[in-house]
Amino acid sequence: MTLIDLISGEAEDKRFRILAAASLAGAANTATVALVNAIAQRKSGGATLGDCFLFLALIAVYVVGSRYTCHGVSATLEDALHHIKVRNLEKIERASYEAIERIGTAEIYDRISANVSRISSSAALIANLLQSLFMSVAAGLYIATLSLPAFALLVLLFGAGIALFYQKARDIAQNLQAASAIRMGFFEQLTDLFQGFKEVKLNQRRGRELREDIQGTSGSLRGVTTTSNNALHDHWLFAQCNLYVGLAALIFVLPQHVEVEASVERLLIGGVLLVWGPVVTCLAGFPVYLESNVSLANIEALERKLDAAASEDEAPIDPWKGRLTRGIEVKDLAYTYAAAGAQESFHIGPLSLDIAAGEIVFIVGGNGSGKSTFLKVLTGLYPPSEGTLRADRFAVTPDKAPAYRELISAIYSDFHIFSKLYGLLGVPESSVSPLLKRMQIEDKTSFAADRFTRVDLSTGQRKRLAMIVTLLEDRPLCVFDEWAADQDPEFRKYFYEELLPSLKQQGKTVIAVSHDDRYFHCADRVVTMEYGQIRSIESPHHPGAAIPGAPSADPRPA
Ligand SMILES: Nc1ncnc2c1ncn2[C@@H]1O[C@H](COP(=O)(O)OP(=O)(O)OP(=O)(O)O)[C@@H](O)[C@H]1O
């Protein structure tokens, strides 16, 4: 799709009015020049009062037509871009977490913000282009009325020039596409720099090496952009030469073959100069037009990826209706990350585990044993590659996964606190304040107008804010990934010995990843993971008791 297709599709019934306004503006502009030419050619008398009125009327038509065209194109383009953004946001919402992780945030940010802005900046260009096009047509007709052979000669010359121009434009578009890919790499490296700024500050060599990499990318970008700009300038020169050829043909070639009066000759030259203005306008805007088309192609490519990633129905099947009464059954469940290069990708499973409603289960194990990955599968973020996940005996299939996730309130290790309490908008301050007190952060932040007044707190305090959100959500299944890791000893004790039991008392099921072995007794069962497998399932309240389904063999891969 090109920029013109986009605007044309969006304009619908406005399309005709915009085209009519552009053609009126173009024709009025041409007629103004023709009128001035005609007055200048008069042998006697000069301009009349009628000429003066006609002149003013033509200017008025031009102003009204041009204004309508510009405003119409700009509003239509902004409407189209707004729809693109809204459509993509909906697609992002319906895409699986796994797919968004794979696509990466750099590409999505770049397409939905930078590319959309680039297209937005071309509205004036398109409006000018439309008017210039009609002006060229009107000027062509004017030339045709003066001399048909001159008209035919110019159409032949300009037609050949335009065909060559567009042929070459394809190479430039490819260059612009390459520049766009490099620009995204540049953006990723800048993100790396700012996210790791502390680390860069502590290590000059790291900073230097990262800067060298970013400079390398910037250098590549400079190379590709310079090539594109040079090619565009060469194009512009070529088009200018094409016009000179047209003028030369009229002055030197035409009179050799066709009888042309001197006065007509002058008018013809005036006519060509009249075409010159709009053509130069079009040429000057050509780079922006090409770049906008590349941006549009990028957005379309992202949309295709999001379409392929759309795994979730807007109206999922919901057999649970917000309740979990029996529990969760995991049967031979496995998940494998997508392979990255030659390295074998990590996988968990096959895992089997039953979690009864109201139970507190700790998932423990060494770093990289697959605990967080298991939690993501358990919470319906990653679809199992094999096996089944059931809640209250209903299989969590893609058509039910969104409803299943509504049973869960989770604080992942890379949790996020939203700027507003989305999902809970309208919750009264009187419900939040006691929780701020309970989490001992009432002197650090408060709650007003659907948001916490401050969220720039310490990691442990931010986790307490996340816990407040969980408590407010009041869902039957609570999942915590190393929540206590950043808490002081006093609060860690509070989490294990008071908070978790109180959740259990409310009938909630709790699954928590933990490294705090001194609190393992707070769980009903402790599931130990190793190399993506369950190594053991123990019940701290019944040590040594045989746990059904607990594997005993060494799970390490052979
Ligand atoms: N997004 C990802 N893409 C590909 N592989 C991943 C991804 N996230 C994790 N892994 C792989 O999965 C392995 C297990 O990671 P996971 O976070 O599940 O471990 P963990 O047991 O929670 O570790 P820790 O105790 O350190 O938090 C990692 O070693 C890594 O190789």
What is the full per-residue pLDDT of the chain (558 aa) written as tens digits? 888 889 888 888 888 999 999 999 988 988 888 888 788 877 776 788 899 999 999 999 999 999 999 999 999 999 999 999 999 999 998 888 888 988 888 888 888 888 998 899 888 888 888 888 888 888 888 888 888 888 888 888 888 887 877 777 777 888 888 888 898 889 889 989 998 998 898 999 999 999 999 999 999 999 988 988 888 788 778 877 887 888 888 888 888 888 878 777 877 887 777 777 777 777 777 778 888 898 999 999 999 999 888 766 667 789 999 999 999 999 999 999 987 766 788 999 899 999 999 999 999 999 999 999 999 999 999 999 999 999 999 999 988 999 999 999 999 999 999 888 999 999 999 999 999 999 999 999 999 999 999 988 999 999 999 999 999 999 999 999 999 999 999 999 999 999 999 999 999 999 999 999 999 999 999 999 999 999 999 988 766 554 444 444 444 443
Give the C-alpha separation, 370 to 358, whole Å: 24
Residue 532 Cα to ligand 1 midpoint, Å, equals: 9
Q: What residue owns the CA closest to ligand 1's atom 17? A: 372
Give the C-alpha separation, 233 to 228, whole Å: 9
Residue entry with tokens 């009126």: 24
- Residue 536: helix, strand or coil by DSSP? strand
Phi, psi of 348 (to 5 degrees): -115, 155
Which pLDDT value is given to residue 342?
A: 67
Nearest to 474 by CA among 379, 422, 407, 405: 407
Sign of CA dihedral 422, 424, 426, 427: negative
288, 122 in Cβ contact below 8 A?
yes
Which pLDDT value is given to residue 278?
A: 73
Which residues have C-beta atoms less than 6 Å from ligand 1?
101, 337, 346, 365, 367-373
Residue 506 Cα to ligand 1 midpoint, Å, equals: 32
Helix (H) or strand (E) holding 72: helix 49-94
Residue 545 Cα to ligand 1 midpoint, Å, equals: 31
Residue 360 Cα to ligand 1 midpoint, Å, equals: 23
Tokens of residue 522, six digits: 């707070």
> What count of other Cβ atoms lies within 10 Å of the Cβ of residue 420?
11
Q: Which residues contact 284 (CB under 8 A, 6 or more apart)?
A: 236
Residue 539 Cα to ligand 1 midpoint, Å, equals: 26
What is the rounded (10 degree) CA torsion for 10, 312, 406, 330? -170
200, 193 in Cβ contact below 8 A?
yes
Which pLDDT value is given to residue 478?
A: 98
Q: Which residues contact 526 (CB under 8 A, 6 or more apart)?
A: 361, 362, 364, 520, 537, 538, 539, 540
Q: What residue owns the CA closest to ligand 1's atom 10? A: 346
97, 369, 513, 527: residue to mutate for ligand 1 pocket, most atoms within 8 A of CB? 369
Q: What residue owns the CA closest to ligand 1's atom 9? A: 373
Q: Which segments of the chain belong to CATH 3.40.50.300?
A: 327-538
Give the atom of ligand 1 at the shortest distance from the alpha carbon of 374.
Answer: 18
- Let me know if 353 is exposed, middle or buried by CB neighbors in 10 A (0-12, 13-18, 19+): buried
Residue 372 Cα to ligand 1 midpoint, Å, equals: 7
130, 18 in Cβ contact below 8 A?
yes
Residue 378 Cα to ligand 1 midpoint, Å, equals: 15
Residue 336 Cα to ligand 1 midpoint, Å, equals: 11
Tokens of residue 368, six digits: 């990289």
Give the atom of ligand 1 at the shortest distance from the alpha carbon of 101.
Answer: 1
CATH class held by domain 3-172+226-309: mainly alpha
Q: Which segments of the chain belong to CATH 1.20.1560.10?
A: 3-172+226-309
Residue 370 Cα to ligand 1 midpoint, Å, equals: 6
Which pLDDT value is given to residue 302?
A: 92
Which pLDDT value is given to residue 557?
A: 45
98, 100, 337: residue to mutate for ligand 1 pocket, most atoms within 8 A of CB? 337
Helix (H) or strand (E) holding 477: strand 477-481
Q: What residue owns the CA closest to ligand 1's atom 24? A: 367
Residue 475 Cα to ligand 1 midpoint, Å, equals: 26
Tokens of residue 534, six digits: 């369950």
Residue length of the chain: 558
Residue 482 Cα to ligand 1 midpoint, Å, equals: 14
Residue 527 Cα to ligand 1 midpoint, Å, equals: 17
Q: What residue owns the CA closest to ligand 1's atom 19? A: 368
Residue 151 Cα to ligand 1 midpoint, Å, equals: 71
344, 373, 413, 516: residue to mutate for ligand 1 pocket, most atoms within 8 A of CB? 373
130, 19 in Cβ contact below 8 A?
yes
Alpha helices in 147-203, H assignment, sequence order: 148-195, 197-202
Give the atom of ligand 1 at the shortest distance from the alpha carbon of 366.
Answer: 25
Q: What residue owns the CA closest to ligand 1's atom 13? A: 368
Cα–Cα distances in angstroms (integers) from residue 216 to residues 220, 349, 542, in the given order = 6, 42, 61
Sign of CA dihedral 467, 469, 471, 475: negative
Q: What residue owns the CA closest to ligand 1's atom 5? A: 337
Give the C-alpha separation, 124 to 294, whole Å: 18
Alpha helices in 423-550, H assignment, sequence order: 429-438, 459-473, 489-494, 500-505
Q: What is Dmax (Cα atoms) for the chain?
A: 119
Q: What residue owns the CA closest to ligand 1's atom 25? A: 367
323, 476 in Cβ contact below 8 A?
yes
Give the atom of ligand 1 at the shortest distance from the alpha carbon of 370.
Answer: 18
DSSP letters for 262-324: HHHHHHHHHHHHHHHHHHHHHHHHHHHHHHHHHHHHHHHHHHHHHHHHB---SS---SSTT--
465, 441 in Cβ contact below 8 A?
yes
Q: What residue owns the CA closest to ligand 1's atom 8? A: 373
Residue entry with tokens 């939690």: 375
Give the C-alpha separation, 447 to 455, whole Å: 11
Q: State how beta strands 408-411 and 477-481 pair.
A: parallel
Side-chain-side CA neighbours of 375 within 13 Å: the count stands at 26
* Assigned fold of 327-538: Rossmann fold (3.40.50)
- Residue 350: helix, strand or coil by DSSP? strand
